[in-house]
Structure 1
Amino acid sequence: MIRVLVVEDDFRVARVHAEFTERVAGFQVVGTAHSAAEARDLIVSSNPDLVLLDNYLPDCSGIALLADLDVDAIMLTAAADAASVRAALSAGALNYLVKPFTAEQLADRLSAYARYHARLSPTGGQVGQDEIDRAIRLLHEGDRPGAPKGQSAVTSRLVQDALRAADGPRSAAEIAAELGIARATAQRYLAGLAQDGKARMTLRYGASGRPEHQYEAPGG
């Protein structure tokens, strides 16, 4: 079991990231920290294998914290500028995922990390160059660009057109009702468009506190 610490200043987003992580087989969330100081304490007490790290923390940037950590980390942050990405990778981040993202996008990267972790176990011995190269490839197998295979170009265009014509963000349920397709189908196409940069995803929190994905045309 891979032990995960979620470091995120927004408690609602932290809960979402923890829920996303717990859905992936082989992963267990052992703690949630809302500041760099709390993260340092929990790393000592809970001994995680992996930290899911936001950059915008109240007492220290996540990148600055990352540079001091002796544990694997994946950045989950809204910081999308090139300088932040380069700084995070230089500080040791194994991957970088820009918020907001879907549960599937995080699951892809976690599953890839699990294969990398198994290949280069912290308790393993000497490895050859071929093993190192394979481990690095495994680490980024989850970085899937574009929409999933098997989608219809016609349906994709209809979903895009519906987003462009909308007067605000739309949920998968709303797009499904408008186009007369299944909600799961609408969600799949919307997620694919978001991954391809053809739609922008945000989160809307309802009365229950559980977030709902919303989508709109870029620049909308």
Structure 2
Amino acid sequence: MSTDLRVLIVDDDFHVARLHAAYVDSVAGFLALAPAGSTAQALQSVHSLRPDLVLLDVYLPDGSGLDLLGQLDVDTMMLTAASDALSIRTATRRGALAYLLKPFTADALSQQLRAYARYRRILDRQQSVDQETIEKARRALFAGEVSSSGRQRTATESAVLESLEPGEQYSAAEVAERVGVSRATAQRYLSTLADDGAVEIQLRYGTTGRPEHRYGVPGRR
């Protein structure tokens, strides 16, 4: 994506909100906005800042995040300690894209945000989509995507895959720069993804005659 996805964190604990903001800012392509500590502040921030995504707690000083969820016309994920089944079902019924229980690691949130980025990329490619695209977008929301071989992908492997924009081809060095890893690491994960069929390899011949491997998403050139 050409611009960062703006994320509003709604949590009444300032220290927790600041920690989660640091988690968000550590993920390429995401930018944490100034957190909101109440439902009233959240509504004001959504109206004035127009975030792409809200990370919402259930327990807020002036009301329930679940009630606020029904009022928000913006993509929202729940980040909360509320572990009862009713809260989870209510959040799902009211449109939460994900439900992440506190406490969680930076990696857990990173995977969830990358899943959201995948979801956005799939749906943002075209104005009109078919049923297959809808189902693909829905599956993309689940963090820790499973490969076609049934093997669970690591966070870095998922990040490498997500760095490949549809319709584009990249060298291992370019992927390494986009993800923030070494070229050797990018090359290793690209090879694994190619073995799974998630990535295809093309050869491009330069002026020296030595072919360069280029990587892309199959069927999206």
TM, length-normalised to structure 1: 0.63
Q: CA shift at 1:65, angstroms?
A: 0.2
- Counterpart of 1:65, as a letter, is L
In structure 2, what is the equivalent of residue 134 of structure 1? 136
In structure 1, what is the equivalent of residue 216 of structure 2? none
In structure 1, what is the equivalent of residue 90 of structure 2? 87
Which runs of no fewer than 5 residues in structure 1 stay unpaired? 151-220
In structure 1, what is the equivalent of residue 13 of structure 2? 10
Q: CA shift at 1:10, angstroms?
A: 0.4
Q: Secondary structure at the match of 1:74?
A: strand
Q: Secondary structure at the match of 1:76?
A: strand
Residue 77 (structure 2) aligned to one of 74, 79, 86: 74
Q: Secondary structure at the match of 1:38?
A: helix
Q: Is the 8 A contact 1:111 1:142 kept in 2?
A: no
CA distance in 1, matches of 2:153, 2:20: 26
Structure 2 CA distance for partners of 1:78 and 1:26, relative to 1, 3 Å? same
Q: Is the 8 A contact 1:113 1:139 kept in 2?
A: yes
Q: Which runs of 4+ in 1 moved over 2 A?
A: 141-144
CA RMSD of superposed structures (Å)? 1.9
CA distance in 2, matches of 1:124, 1:64: 33
Equivalent residues, number: 146
In structure 1, what is the equivalent of residue 118 of structure 2? 115
Q: CA shift at 1:143, angstroms?
A: 7.1
In structure 2, what is the equivalent of residue 97 of structure 1? 100
CA distance in 1, matches of 2:5, 2:52: 6
Structure 2 CA distance for partners of 1:27 and 1:149, relative to 1, 3 Å? closer
- Counterpart of 1:38, as a letter, is Q
CA distance in 1, matches of 2:22, 2:85: 29
Q: Cα deviation per residue 1:7-50 (whole Å; 9 max; x = unaligned)?
A: 00000000010001100000001221000000000001110000
Q: Is the 8 A contact 2:144 2:153 kept in 1?
A: no
TM, length-normalised to structure 2: 0.63
Overall identity of the aligned pairs, in %: 51
- Counterpart of 1:62, as a letter, is G
Aligned pairs for 1:189-204 (under 5 A) are none
Q: Is the 8 A contact 1:78 1:98 kept in 2?
A: yes
In structure 2, what is the equivalent of residue 19 of structure 1? 22
Q: Is the 8 A contact 1:4 1:27 kept in 2?
A: yes
CA distance in 2, matches of 1:55, 1:142: 24
Q: Is the 8 A contact 2:10 2:54 kept in 1?
A: yes
Q: Secondary structure at the match of 1:97?
A: strand
Q: Is the 8 A contact 1:109 1:143 kept in 2?
A: no
